[in-house]
């Protein structure tokens, strides 16, 4: 069958557009028969993915970063008959800046390797998540993370991962806080938070492990919430968020990590929120998360996922 490639040219500050010729060559060399469509505006990727799914293209390939992948999955979900319908197969051409899902899947960011994985046609099934009316694949958050995302979007003098680091430092120095009520399968919390992060995968932002024990295939979301009042205490947490294993920030006092199949969050004052690195609200007060186990088939070679 013919694959549909959906290119988001803006990914990685227009670097995706610059790298497309290399990606196209890689697909051709791997023997992938494909048609290309290019996203032209915010939300267009979702529309293109829905259209491609309804037209029967397979696989559907997201050419961009984590936000592009998330939008393609939302388009696939719109085209599905029901929430029980399996989505995909989804292929990935990693043209983003962080490429977190690719890392969490154990895939290569090399375009030739990515094209060969797509050509091989082997799939693995992973979970996806839903917050309110939006789907996401890798992670979502309210509070500090999207607050930092809004900062990094305004930074134009640094590229790539260093931009995330500078934005994170600026966000920490602002010392934001939100009062929340959180409920989940077997727990409840009420009080101030610095962040609430919900992970399907462990890595986000290229170097951060905000939900370090999250798994794409366990049928559960891993979420973390916590609070620090003093800037120096928040700054001490920052390097610990970059540790995927022992010594993670989730092991420190006042930071709590749980697993859940559903989460409800009420925020006293409007807070920013994102899915897969894309801001979907700069001021939201109610969020409801649900896991959909094993709903997405993603092209991944043997040994991945």
User: Residue 302 pLDDT more than 90?
Assistant: no
pTM for the whole thing?
A: 0.93
pLDDT of 304 reads 59
Percentage of residues in the chain having pLDDT higher than 70: 98
Q: How far apart are CA 194 and CA 192, in angstroms?
A: 7
- For CATH 3.40.50.10330, the residue range(s) in the chain are 3-121
CA 126 distance to own-chain centroid: 13
Confidence of residue 195 (pLDDT cuts 50, 70, 90): very high
What lies within 8 Å, CB to CB, of 81 at 6+ separation is none
Confidence of residue 305 (pLDDT cuts 50, 70, 90): low
The arithmetic mean of pLDDT across residues 267-295, rounded, is 96
Helices (H) and strands (E) in the chain, counts: 8, 14
User: Residue 136 pLDDT more than 80?
Assistant: yes
Contacts of 110-117 with C-beta under 8 Å, sequence gap 24+, read 111/19, 111/22, 111/23, 111/26, 112/26, 112/29, 112/30, 114/26, 115/23, 115/26, 115/27, 115/29, 115/30, 115/32, 116/30, 116/301, 117/91, 117/299, 117/300, 117/301
pLDDT of 229 reads 86
**Mean pLDDT score of the chain:** 94
Confidence of residue 303 (pLDDT cuts 50, 70, 90): low
The arithmetic mean of pLDDT across residues 71-92, rounded, is 97
Confidence of residue 87 (pLDDT cuts 50, 70, 90): very high
What is the per-residue pLDDT across 147-179, written as a single tens digit (0 to 9) for each?
A: 988 998 888 777 777 877 788 888 888 889 999
Q: Which CATH architecture has domain 139-292?
A: Sandwich (2.60)
pLDDT of 170 reads 86
The arithmetic mean of pLDDT across residues 292-298, rounded, is 98
pLDDT of 275 reads 97
- For CATH 2.60.200.40, the residue range(s) in the chain are 139-292
Residue 272 backbone class (left: φ over 0; alpha: ψ -120 to 50; beta: rest): beta
Q: Which CATH superfamily is domain 3-121 in?
A: Probable inorganic polyphosphate/atp-NAD kinase; domain 1 (3.40.50.10330)
User: Residue 290 pLDDT more than 90?
Assistant: yes
SS3 54: helix
């Amino acid at each position: 069958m013919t694959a549909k490639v959906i290119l988001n040219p803006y990914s990685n500050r227009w670097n995706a557009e610059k790298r497309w010729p290399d990606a196209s060559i890689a697909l051709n060399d791997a023997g992938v028969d494909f048609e290309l469509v290019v996203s032209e505006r915010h939300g267009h990727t979702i529309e293109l993915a829905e259209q491609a799914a309804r037209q029967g293209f397979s696989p559907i390939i997201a050419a961009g970063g984590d936000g592009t992948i998330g939008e393609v999955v939302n388009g696939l979900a719109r085209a599905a008959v029901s929430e029980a319908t399996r989505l995909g197969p989804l292929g990935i051409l990693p043209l983003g800046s962080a490429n977190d899902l690719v890392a969490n899947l154990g895939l290569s960011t090399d375009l030739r390797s990515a094209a060969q994985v797509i050509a091989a046609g082997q799939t693995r099934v992973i979970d996806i998540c839903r917050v309110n009316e939006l789907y996401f694949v890798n992670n979502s958050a309210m509070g500090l993370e999207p607050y930092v995302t809004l900062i990094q979007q305004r930074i134009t003098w640094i590229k790539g991962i260093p931009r995330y680091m500078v934005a994170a430092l600026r966000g920490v120095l602002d010392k934001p806080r939100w009062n929340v009520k959180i409920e989940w399968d077997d727990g409840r919390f009420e009080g101030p938070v610095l962040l609430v992060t919900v992970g399907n995968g462990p890595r986000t932002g290229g170097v951060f492990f905000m939900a370090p024990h999250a798994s794409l295939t366990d049928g559960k979301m891993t979420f973390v919430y916590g609070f620090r009042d003093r800037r120096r205490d928040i700054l001490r947490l920052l390097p610990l968020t970059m540790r995927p294993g022992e010594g993670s920030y989730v092991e420190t006092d006042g930071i709590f990590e749980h697993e859940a199949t559903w989460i409800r969050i009420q925020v006293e004052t409007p807070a920013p929120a994102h899915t897969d690195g894309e801001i979907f609200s700069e001021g939201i007060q109610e969020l409801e998360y649900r896991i959909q186990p094993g709903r997405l088939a993603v092209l991944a070679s043997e040994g991945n996922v």
